[in-house]
Structure 1
Amino acid sequence: MVQKLMLGFTDSFDFYFETHKWWLLRCLYIQQEILDDRSPTLCKSILELVALVNQNDELFKDDRFREASIQWNIEAGYFCHLYFEYEKGREYFEKAKNLSHLDINISGALGKRTRYQEDDKAQLVLQVKRSNVQDEQTLIKDIPLPKNISLDDDTVLNKIAFTDEMEKHSVQLSPLDQAVVLACMEGHRRSLAQERLTDEEVLTYILCMLDQLCNWNVGVACLILRSKLEKGSSRRVERSMKQMEELVNIVTQPEPANIDRSYLFYSCHTPSVWKVKKELGTMLLSLGCISAAKDLYESLEMWDEAITCYQIMKKTDQAEVIIREQLKKKETPNLYCFLGDVTHDMNHYQKAWELSNERSSRAMRCMGYLYFGKKDNKAALRCFEKSLEINSLQIPVWFTYGCVALTTDQYEKAVKAFKRCVNIDSDNFEAWNNLGTAYIKLKDKPKAFLTMKEAIKYNFESWQLWENCLLIGVDCGEFEDVVNAYNRLLDLKSKWVDEQILSILVRAIEEDLTDSKGLPVRRFKPKIQQLFTRITSQTTGNGEIWRLFAKLILLDNKPENIDQGLEYLQKSHRCVTQTSNWEKDEKKCQEVSDQAIELAKLYIQCADKLPDRTQKLQNLSSAKFMLKGVITKIKQHHQDPITQSLPQSIDELCKSLDDQFKDLLERIDQLKNC
């Protein structure tokens, strides 16, 4: 009602109440918090209003309203984050930080984390400084704050014990300053891929604010986030659970007064009590307390989560009974969707669709998933398209829609879906990866390569992404990135080998090819040589890699490279011929003979480069004995003892080897007669 009144009287409110659009934004924000899914209509209204309010020069450029301006920039950043506009949100947070004259940096200091730790180790610490000294005199009101549950562990300390406590000290922060630090933390968190180091950095922000907590909403927001981060730690999960229970209970406590609770409520993005309870239910579920989580979800009428609990308990019949009881009270599209989730009956989703006057994106989404499970991809695509027409902010639906489009060879649709996915949620590395796959199917490899590089930014530890980047990079001529990708794969999988890629790298240098920028690949020869050195130090028994390394070394006509190249050639031959019973397999015989001939030719090339006649004879003799050994071993196994004949394929191999052997003998005779 408030929203409609304010929207209806916008012009008249402009005259009497300059901040009415700001209050309207807050109303819309609360409305969005109540809804299950993000609303495209609210998204459009909120982002348009943010732009309008930001144009209010009188309010935000007058220094008298500096605190209001700081609060506005924080809230505008959270409004943008609500609809995945993380870059815009971060810009607003930076404005708030600049207006507060705060300098926020993560640094390091020596300290201990455990009771029995003897040596101090480097620990992360947040340093907050103020550029304007006049802002330091801030009156802080003494009010009851949320209880910070201590960590009662026999090993891990409640908080880091720094060697020099002065190193961790920041300036005294006012409640608004703390809200700014909290907002900057959120901007920092959203700009990085989800990984352990990011969580540690976020905890550093939280611990800094909890050390000098002076606002109820800042405390609630920090403690909720700390509980979420700690629930995965075996030594901290108990504290995480107790803290979340405490936060649920403080809502009903009489203190602090409502006016103290409301200050900075929007600037801290404080979650609603039902969201806190939902998080508590998630923790209970992760700890195996299924029944307790179920009861909590039912009390909140969160049927989606309650159904999950019933499914884990293998009591879906009971869930169906409860949902049907709710339907007797009042029929709603969502309840019919829940019933469809339990029974997997398409008719219930259809009923929900009709009951909503064909406006329930959830009903179509669930029908799409059901068709997808039945391998009816065409029907699934139709349902997903209808669902996304109603609500285009459904990231999981865009992702599944893209996957189905890939499966049905509709690559343009797949590109559209995964593009929308990454536009909404840029750190979704799986969507980036699938977008690259779609570009490959469309034979647009340059775009595929750039897409894979984006995917890697958001999951640096996935060897599959690095391998995809490596393979596409070779096709695109991005040889520098290929070498970097190969090195990263060796970091992740120490004995990872791709002979074909290495062969391409050597051939690119040998043939003096150019890369995607039109520059010669030869300039990367030192890097590629270092790569081979690293590979051969970890994988010593691969003859093909030694052969390629020798070829790479011998590309430079330098005397010092000849001995090294010959050494690698000998290692290559030993690796191939030491395979047991290779002579019994015709394919192996073909492989060994081909390599023997190639090695003999390389021996000859190396001998031609040597200035000394004796050294030339030694190299050619080594090649002769090598060929003689291969010929003898093949003939011993395949030659008929009576007719002395060989199978046709083996006979052709031996003729090739004999021809090369005769050539070597002639060269040796020529040298001896000189």
Structure 2
Amino acid sequence: MAVELIENFLLAGKWDVSTLQTPVADVAHAVVRGRFGEALTSSYAQQLFKFRLAETLENSFDLSASLTQDEQENELLRLVFAVACLQAFLQVNWTGPEIDFKPLDILSQIEPQSLTDDTINQLAIAELASGGEPAYHLARHALFLRLAQILLDAPYQYCQTAIWWRLRAHIAHQQVIDEPVLLPEDVLATFEHWQNPFASDNPDLAGRWLLEYGLLHHTFQQDKMAAEYFVKASRATDLQYELTGALGKRTKFQQNELSQLVLLAESHLPDESSEKTEVPSTSEPNQTIVPETLALNDDTLLEQTEFTSSKPTTDLSTSSLHRLDPSDQPPLHPLDQCILLSLCLNVRNTSPLHGLTSEQMSPYVARVISHPRNWTIHTMSLLIRSRLEASRTRTVERSALQLQALVDQMPATDADAAPVSERLRYLHSISLPPKWELERELAHRFISLGVIKSALDIYERLEMWEEVVKCHVSLERPDRGITIVKDLLAGNKVESEAVVSREKASGAENSMKRLQRLDTAREAKLWCILGDLEPEHAVDHYKYAWDISKSTSGRAMRSLGGFHFARTEYELARECLQKAVKIDPLLSRSWFILGCACMRLEDWQGAKDAFARCVTIDEEDGESWSNLASMYLRIEQSNKDDVSGDSSVVMHSNKQLAFRALKEGLKRSYDNWRMWSNYMIIAVDVGELAEACRALGRVIEETSNKADGVVLDEDVLDRLVNAVTHAPSKPQEALDSTGSDQVQHILNPNEGRGLLPRVLDLFDRTILPRVSSARVFRSYARLLTWIGRWEDTMKAWMDAYRESDAGKITRGEIVAVATIDNNSGRQLWREAVGEVEEIVDILRNVGARLEASGSTKKWRLQAKSVVRSFMGRTRENFEDDPEWHRLESLLEDLKQE
């Protein structure tokens, strides 16, 4: 048996017509062609699926039965049947059309006889609950997914790709449960270290594995890691792509050609149309059956960008893609289309540093839509386009209508519909949601448009009771939501026809008790919903949900923890949330509230750990980065208070960690001036003065338009100037010594000449146009003195004088009046006299420098003018003061010079 060859066919979803004519191969062939009923009702399947109801479904089958005399064939058949079950489940719940057989049709020797398809479906759904998260109770034929899991969890010695199918089953399972549940470490390690046997000689399967492993990370919202694997997949398939610009028009009335974003892309995988594979009889060769692509029909926007240039606007002479015409690019291989669409999955992303923004995603989707190659891929591309268009006024209507069309096309079974094998072939290579999630998304879209009644109808049909309750609350009818939940819990409201038929058909009382016990995950969720609706009884409802779930409902502990936190019961909140994150560690919101509760309790280490988990889950969470930095500083302060000896090492380490955390956070919260201010202070503390300079500029820019005025930390500004002026002024003395003539000398960016350009730019472009204060001008003057710009130095010192008390007294902005009862005015005047003496000394010293350089600037006249103006303004009140002679002496000295 060519085991590896059949495994190849199963993974690729296509069969080579020239090979393999054996009974086992025939079963595998049927699976590849999408004839799952034929495979699962074969004589081999009847031997394997002998069923006797036990405590669990896994124990209800004897998977050790020998199906053939050959051990390799036995193992291959188990894998083939696992694939058939998984694909049949995906066909029913993802792509359609309906299958022509039922779960009970594949089971033999069924006991008890009272079991029905609906009953066994509920048994499977109960077992699919994971980590306290219930499986969607209306998922159809859930037994197939459970059977696939049972068969794939068995040990495999000869079939190397069983691990790959296990990955596919896990991804499907994650989409069936309410919230993703992180897989055990040993399972993740198995996937991470698995060596793809097709990686070396089959770029198609090499790219598929990397792509699907990236989709697993995307399922867990690890988008950065997922994007890395998507890029690796593109390298494995040798997909060449580049986002650039080309001249074109986007509107019907546009006169001038403008640069438009375009994705240039080219595949290097073999063209599928030239491969020797079977063509399903339901479709003609070279004919692609895809969902309907709705037109925009806008009075202004064009259906698609019209590129008027055959060349990109940028110089791509070093790129192999520069020869492509943006308006006439060659079709892409379907797998390469999947890779491009996967790069667009993170639609919520807004930071170019961490993936594509929404504006950048549109050319990726347009590149795929322009050449339909596969039914499922085209469905996904239209879905992503619908998501991107949902927030734009001119495209929101098509967004909703296209989504409705995608929902409606799923059950199609007519001759014009795409065959099953075509629909399933690339399903594992994209992130297409199941039918119920697609309809839920449509309902969300209706709510965003204000069509709440239509959304409510969808939610009620899908029996998504939490969303139903939210709709009633938004319609100001919370009492109806409470009534619905209570009726469900009391058994007075029938959820679905499946439940009705189950109750009628099942005459065995013990079976019904078992079903009720296995449905506790969903019952616990309903109690949590009721707790949200009845705050006065919330604690009792949440606790009851926790009890009936046998301490597995993460939702119950999340809700209870949030309830206690809102009422400042932080100790109770911490206790509940610690249980919640232990059950489901992927929800960053739970970690965040736990961190806040720990902060209130001054548990700095616990808060640090919680916020660290937040940023691990969601790197875009700027607030968590900021809080994490604060916790590092709190821990540092605790070490400083409690530890002696080498505590400075710990302190410095924590300061560095806080600095790095804030640096990461600012990438996500670039406009948060308070975070910049904290970052600036820590940067000064750890000696990163170049970064402190940048942060000070950002604080000023962000606060320049605020009603309270510009925020400027003058102490930090003085530190920056000191760092420049206390270093050697000669460039050759400021170079770092490396001890080798072979190594180029560099300037330290945090002091002296290395820091100087940043600080000068900070003054010239940011501070001086916005801030006028004596201290700022003095700092600027000190900086100019250090670099020897003497005329600018004199001007800066004069600006500083004008903003001083002496300058304001001279201009009449401050009235210094000395009276018998109040000496404050006399004290102010005497301090101002000192400022006058200071500016005269500075003018004398700087003037000498100017004279030495040949300048004709009349510094003495300026100094005399300063003294005379001050004396003239204050003579009436202070001429009799004992200190007046200081001014007369100063003026006399200037006359004699």
Please point out which of 529, 533, 557 is paired with 1:364.
557
Counterpart Cα distance in 2 of 1:588 and 1:244: 76
Given that 1:125 and 1:168 are in contact with CA atoms closer than 8 Å, whether structure 2 keeps it comes out as no
Cα shift readout 1:328-357 (whole Å, capped 9, x = no counterpart): 236611111111111122101111000011
Cα shift readout 1:621-672 (whole Å, capped 9, x = no counterpart): 2332354367459x59xx9xxxx9xxxxxxxxxx8xx74x644543443454
Partner of residue 603, structure 1: 840
How do 1:48-197 and structure 2 match up within 5 A? 48-52=189-193, 54-56=194-196, 58-61=197-200, 63=201, 65-130=202-267, 132=268, 138=274, 141-164=286-309, 166-186=325-345, 192=351
Report the AA paired with residue 20 of structure 1.
Answer: A
Structure 1 outlier segments of 4+, above 6 Å: 187-191, 194-197, 513-518, 584-593
- For residue 380 of structure 2, give the secondary structure of its aligned residue in structure 1: helix
5+ residue gaps, structure 1, are 645-654
Which deviates more from structure 2 when the two are superposed, residues 140-149 or residues 220-229?
Answer: 140-149
- Cα offset, 1:324, TM superposition: 0.9
Partner of residue 484, structure 2: 322
Partner of residue 628, structure 1: 871
Cα shift readout 1:560-582 (whole Å, capped 9, x = no counterpart): 33443344235534985568566
Cα shift readout 1:79-137 (whole Å, capped 9, x = no counterpart): 1222244454334323321232211111111122222222222111101134x586697
Which deviates more from structure 2 when the two are superposed, residues 273-282 or residues 411-420?
Answer: 273-282
Report the AA paired with residue 399 of structure 1.
Answer: F
Counterpart Cα distance in 2 of 1:477 and 1:296: 59
- Give RMSD over aligned pairs: 3.5
Please point out which of 218, 224, 230 is paired with 2:383.
224
TM-score, normalised to structure 2's length? Answer: 0.66
Report the AA paired with residue 216 of structure 2.
Answer: F
Cα shift readout 1:492-534 (whole Å, capped 9, x = no counterpart): 4555440423333234434449999795345322321222122
- Number of residues of Structure 1 aligned to a counterpart in Structure 2: 645
Given that 2:726 and 2:752 are in contact with CA atoms closer than 8 Å, whether structure 1 keeps it comes out as no
Partner of residue 113, structure 2: none
- Cα offset, 1:417, TM superposition: 0.5
The structure-2 alpha-carbon separation of the partners of 1:463 and 1:286, relative to structure 1 and needing over 3 Å to count, comes to farther
- Cα offset, 1:256, TM superposition: 1.9
Counterpart Cα distance in 2 of 1:543 and 1:200: 47
The structure-2 alpha-carbon separation of the partners of 1:185 and 1:567, relative to structure 1 and needing over 3 Å to count, comes to same
How do 1:183-262 and structure 2 match up within 5 A? 183-186=342-345, 192=351, 198-254=357-413, 255-262=417-424
Partner of residue 505, structure 1: 720
- Cα offset, 1:322, TM superposition: 0.3
- Cα offset, 1:294, TM superposition: 2.4
- Structure having the higher helix fraction is 1
- For residue 266 of structure 1, give the secondary structure of its aligned residue in structure 2: helix
Given that 2:748 and 2:755 are in contact with CA atoms closer than 8 Å, whether structure 1 keeps it comes out as no
Given that 1:569 and 1:599 are in contact with CA atoms closer than 8 Å, whether structure 2 keeps it comes out as no
Report the AA paired with residue 603 of structure 1.
Answer: V
How do 1:383-398 and structure 2 match up within 5 A? 383-398=576-591
Cα shift readout 1:300-325 (whole Å, capped 9, x = no counterpart): 22233222222222211110100111
TM-score, normalised to structure 1's length? Answer: 0.86
Cα shift readout 1:363-408 (whole Å, capped 9, x = no counterpart): 0110001111111111111100111122222211011111222233
Given that 1:576 and 1:592 are in contact with CA atoms closer than 8 Å, whether structure 2 keeps it comes out as no
Partner of residue 480, structure 1: 690
Report the AA paired with residue 264 of structure 1.
Answer: Y
Counterpart Cα distance in 1 of 2:808 and 2:467: 59
Counterpart Cα distance in 2 of 1:317 and 1:82: 36
- Cα offset, 1:459, TM superposition: 3.5
The structure-2 alpha-carbon separation of the partners of 1:447 and 1:614, relative to structure 1 and needing over 3 Å to count, comes to closer
Cα shift readout 1:433-481 (whole Å, capped 9, x = no counterpart): 2211222323333221211111122333444433332233233332211
Counterpart Cα distance in 1 of 2:240 and 2:574: 50
Counterpart Cα distance in 2 of 1:588 and 1:209: 78
Q: Which has the higher contact order (CA 8 A, sep 6+)?
A: 2
Report the AA paired with residue 545 of structure 2.
Answer: A
Counterpart Cα distance in 2 of 1:536 and 1:73: 50
Cα shift readout 1:399-421 (whole Å, capped 9, x = no counterpart): 11112222332211111001111
- Cα offset, 1:259, TM superposition: 1.8
Report the AA paired with residue 532 of structure 2.
Answer: D
Report the AA paired with residue 724 of structure 2.
Answer: I
Given that 1:75 and 1:266 are in contact with CA atoms closer than 8 Å, whether structure 2 keeps it comes out as yes
- For residue 252 of structure 1, give the secondary structure of its aligned residue in structure 2: coil
5+ residue gaps, structure 2, are 1-145, 276-284, 311-324, 492-515, 637-653, 729-733, 737-746
Partner of residue 181, structure 2: 39
How do 1:486-635 and structure 2 match up within 5 A? 486-489=696-699, 492-494=702-704, 496-500=710-714, 501-512=716-727, 520-521=751-752, 523-535=754-766, 538-539=769-770, 541-573=772-804, 576=808, 597-598=834-835, 600-611=837-848, 615=858, 617-628=860-871, 631=874, 635=877
Cα shift readout 1:550-569 (whole Å, capped 9, x = no counterpart): 34333444543344334423
Partner of residue 287, structure 1: 449
Partner of residue 281, structure 2: none
Please point out which of 344, 350, 353 is paired with 2:546.
353
Counterpart Cα distance in 1 of 2:874 and 2:812: 16
- Cα offset, 1:280, TM superposition: 1.3
Counterpart Cα distance in 1 of 2:657 and 2:327: 46
Given that 2:725 and 2:786 are in contact with CA atoms closer than 8 Å, whether structure 1 keeps it comes out as yes
- Cα offset, 1:153, TM superposition: 1.9
Report the AA paired with residue 215 of structure 1.
Answer: N
Which deviates more from structure 2 when the two are superposed, residues 573-582 or residues 165-174?
Answer: 573-582
Counterpart Cα distance in 1 of 2:344 and 2:700: 34
Please point out which of 5, 20, 23 is paired with 2:162.
20
How do 1:368-383 and structure 2 match up within 5 A? 368-383=561-576
Which deviates more from structure 2 when the two are superposed, residues 189-198 or residues 172-181?
Answer: 189-198
Counterpart Cα distance in 1 of 2:368 and 2:160: 33
The structure-2 alpha-carbon separation of the partners of 1:193 and 1:91, relative to structure 1 and needing over 3 Å to count, comes to closer
Flag the structure with larger Rg: 2
- For residue 199 of structure 2, give the secondary structure of its aligned residue in structure 1: helix
Partner of residue 651, structure 1: none
Cα shift readout 1:178-203 (whole Å, capped 9, x = no counterpart): 11222344489979559997111111
Please point out which of 510, 521, 524 is paired with 1:333.
524
Percent identity (aligned): 27
Counterpart Cα distance in 1 of 2:672 and 2:583: 35
Counterpart Cα distance in 2 of 1:22 and 1:366: 37
